[in-house]
Amino acid sequence: MKFIGIDVGGTNTDAVKIEDGIISYFKIPNEWGSIIEALRNMGDAETSRTVVSSSLPLNLLHEGKGGDTKTLIMAGPGLNFSSFGTDIKGCVNHRGDIVEDIVVGEVIKELSNKKDNIAIVGKFSNRNPLLEEKILGIALDYYDATKIAVGSDIQGLSFPRRIGTTILNAKVKKSVENLTTAIENYSSSFYYFKGDGGIIPHNLAMKKPLDLVNSSPATAALGAYYLTKEKNGLVIDIGGTTTDFVELVGGRPKLMNNIVLFGYKTLVRSIDTWAIPIGGDSYIDFRSKSIGPERRGNAVAFNGEYITLTDLLNCMGEKIGDYNRSISVMKTISKNYRSLAESLVDKAVSLICKESCKLGNPSTVICTGYLGKYLAPMIGERLGSNYIVPKFAEVANAIGAAVSRVSLMLYQRIDTERGRVVWNGTVEKIKDDARSLSPEEIIDIAKDKVRSLAMRYGAAEEDVKDVDLLYFNAYDVIRGWYRSGQISDCVVQITPGISSEVVS
């Protein structure tokens, strides 16, 4: 079986194929259609497992191109969330019962005042999505489905965070849908890489496109571990546009729950990563002697118009692209072009090292990405750290995507008094013999369910053995001084990591 990983970065699209442990790859400049070209060059996608990592959602939000979002909120009586959007009638209680229906006329009036996209969010909608589904049915007469996000697709607890997550989903959904449609023209079945280091089927990603945020640095971390087997250290991924930092702990990227994005508190689980706008294509302002944050195109060595960090390295003796062209243009800027290049590269290294020490001075750094192998010795020397540049470091992101495993998350709520269980927003009845459960039994039900779902979506049995318990809470329902039932909430996830199917 072939394993294909594609990472759409800020500058290049990297494509990797791993077959019988043998790695082959290529890079192509980013432009519309580059990902299709990558897939075609990788061979028959239908006989492979294809994983796509994309910084598209994050870049869209960074550039402020998500558009204006209309937000309809059903918070329930006495609650005011107007700071997020418009409060409307409709309420589901904490048990998942509908206690107030929507007012169709009110919904139509709000929908008539259109914006670029729309978020529909009801409190406790993850325990009963019926009211959101009613509004969705009406909204489809006003908005394309790719511009509508609903809160019941977001699992976990915290209504304000569900609102924030749904709003951001609405902003990025169309762009991810466009990318998906383009890929589907070539491959009918593929996976997206999430920001927490795991993969999900592309159709599930459409419901929660914000999960793809931070997927690119996550792939770099997973690829770095796959290539080096180094369990602890700091991964420094130096690409064409940015340098990303991710800490490896025990062979896994360090994770954060409920990250904050662009001022919104969310329910997104992601790697703990940060970045600076310095990369191989960073524009050099010689008047201010500054590097980045602007990118004005390719390096001179790759037929660009402006000197970049890549060109400076060529002036120091490296041979990247048309290095003679880099030197020729630098000579027109300064007779002492080499010393000028050295001082500016030293400045870039200093900035990277400063960021590297945010978590303390790392004992080991793993340098990947476009310029990783060129800057690693300087970074290691300045930090006084052991440095590693793995083979295929320049496409570690795409390798990380290719070797990853399916990692589904499941939110489970069991209400034994009502005889109902909710799995990721889908309500089902529970068996009579499941009305009295111990905490261990509740957790086991959730783990068994997420394993079966993951295997249904193509996960290997070996890959679903490890399941992380992310949240658990249970309490009794008392009526007439007697225990009449139990309510529990449980969140589990298949542990992200490297698939057992990939040959090292």
pLDDT digits (tens, 9 = 90+) for 35-80: 777 777 776 656 678 999 987 788 788 778 899 999 999 999 888 9
Over the chain, what is the mean pLDDT? 90
Residue closest to 246 by CA, chosen among 293, 202, 195 = 195
**SS3 labels along 102-125:** CCHHHHHHHHHCCCCEEEEEECCC
Amino acid at 367: C
Residue 32 binned pLDDT confidence (cut-offs 50, 70, 90): low
Upper half-sphere CA count for residue 30 (Cβ side, 13 Å): 17
Residue 165 clears pLDDT 80, i.e. is over it: yes
What are the sequence ranges of the domains in the chain?
Answer: 67-177+229-402, 409-494
Q: Which amino acid is at 27?
A: K
Q: Which residues contact 466 (CB under 8 A, 6 or more apart)?
A: 494, 495, 497
Q: Are the CB atoms for 213 and 57 separated by under 8 Å? A: yes
CB 301, CB 310: distance < 8 Å = yes
Residues making up the chain, counted from first to last: 504
C-alpha closest to that of 11 among 244, 292, 236, 240: 240
Q: Could you identify the residue written with the tokens 């495993």? A: 405
H or E stretch covering 324 = helix 323-331
**pLDDT on residue 435:** 61
Q: What are 105-159's pLDDT values in tens digits?
A: 999 999 999 999 999 999 999 889 999 999 999 999 999 999 999 999 998 789 9
User: In the predicted model, what is the mean pLDDT of residues 480-487?
Assistant: 83
Yes or no: say if 138 and 104 are a contact pair by the CB < 8 Å rule.
Answer: yes
pTM attached to this predicted model: 0.89
Q: How confident is the model at residue 31 (pLDDT cuts 50, 70, 90)?
A: low
Helix (H, G, I), strand (E, B) or coil at 228: helix
3-state SS, 251-298, equals CEECEECCCEECCEECCCCEECEEEECCCCCEEEECCCCEEEEEECCC
Region label for 179, one of left (φ > 0), alpha (ψ between -120 and 50) or beta (otherwise): alpha
Alpha helices in 156-214 (DSSP H): 159-184, 202-205
Continuous H helices in 387-497: 396-403, 439-456
pLDDT (tens digit, 9 = 90+) per residue, 253-299? 999 999 999 999 999 999 999 989 899 999 999 999 988 888 888 89
Task: Give the domain 67-177+229-402 fold.
Answer: Nucleotidyltransferase; domain 5 (3.30.420)
Q: What is the pLDDT of residue 483?
A: 78
Closest CA to 266 of 121, 407, 128: 121
What SS3 state is found at 128?
coil
Question: Are the beta carbons of 345 and 309 closer than 8 angstroms?
Answer: yes
pLDDT of 93 > 60? The answer is yes
Which of 43-52, 169-178, 346-355 bottoms out in mean pLDDT, i.e. has the lowest? 43-52
Cis peptide before 57, with omega less than 30 degrees from 0? Answer: no
Task: For residue 96, give both structure tokens.
Answer: 């998942």
CA dist 380 and 399 (Å) reads 24
